[in-house]
């Protein structure tokens, strides 16, 4: 294997694992210790300002609506997520974050923004754009790979 490919691969694997570990340990040691990583990613998928249906959130996360419902039920019970019926059709239920859910979302988002800022801190504009191109290529590869997975 090309030494550069090997080194980049090691960094990507380590970074992925470290981000998850840091997020999990941070949650466990905070006032949000009742939230799992899976639930945190559900909160992230619901987002700060949108009201999304269960199907829309499930699609963002790549899970079935049934699988998501278990996580949402827990987050509603823990007061991080609210189910909201729309005025124009009371049968339609949308998901939104409660005030506590929005606080957790902002703290999680800050960690990600700090991580990105630190990553590009010593780069000039051209270097940052090259990194962005590499990340876009990685994203596109992962999207194509997801499309090939069994449904």
Q: What is the pTM of this model?
A: 0.86
Q: How confident is the model at residue 13 (pLDDT cuts 50, 70, 90)?
A: very high
Spatial distance between the Cα atoms of 47 and 13, rounded to a whole number of angstroms: 27
pLDDT > 90 fraction of the chain, expressed in percent and rounded? 84
| Residues sharing a CB contact under 8 Å with residue 65, sequence separation 6 or more, in sequence order | 54, 55, 58
Residue in the structure block whose two tokens are 């990507």? 12
Q: pLDDT by residue (tens digit) across 43-84? A: 999 999 889 999 999 999 989 999 999 999 999 999 999 999
Q: What is the mean pLDDT of the chain?
A: 93
Radius of gyration of the chain (CA): 18
Q: What domains can you pick out in the chain, each with its CATH number?
A: 3-104 (1.10.10.10)
Q: pLDDT by residue (tens digit) across 73-131? A: 999 999 999 999 877 777 788 999 999 999 999 999 999 999 999 999 999 999 999 99
Taking Cα atoms as reference points, which of 82, 77, 80, 58 lies closest to residue 69? 58
């Amino acid at each position: 294997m090309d030494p550069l490919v090997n080194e980049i691969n090691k960094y990507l694997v380590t970074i992925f694992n470290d981000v998850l570990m840091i997020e999990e340990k941070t949650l466990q040691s905070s006032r949000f210790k009742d939230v799992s990583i899976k639930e945190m990613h559900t909160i992230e998928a619901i987002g700060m300002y949108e009201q999304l249906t269960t199907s829309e959130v499930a699609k963002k996360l790549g899970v079935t609506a049934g699988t998501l419902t278990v996580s949402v039920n827990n987050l509603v019970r823990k007061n991080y997520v609210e189910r909201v019926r729309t005025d124009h059709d009371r049968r339609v239920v949308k998901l939104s974050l409660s005030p506590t859910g929005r606080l957790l979302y902002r703290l999680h988002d800050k960690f990600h923004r700090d991580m990105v800022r630190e990553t590009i801190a010593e780069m000039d504009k051209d270097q940052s754009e090259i990194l962005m191109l590499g990340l876009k290529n990685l994203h596109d590869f992962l999207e194509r790979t997801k499309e090939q997975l069994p449904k």
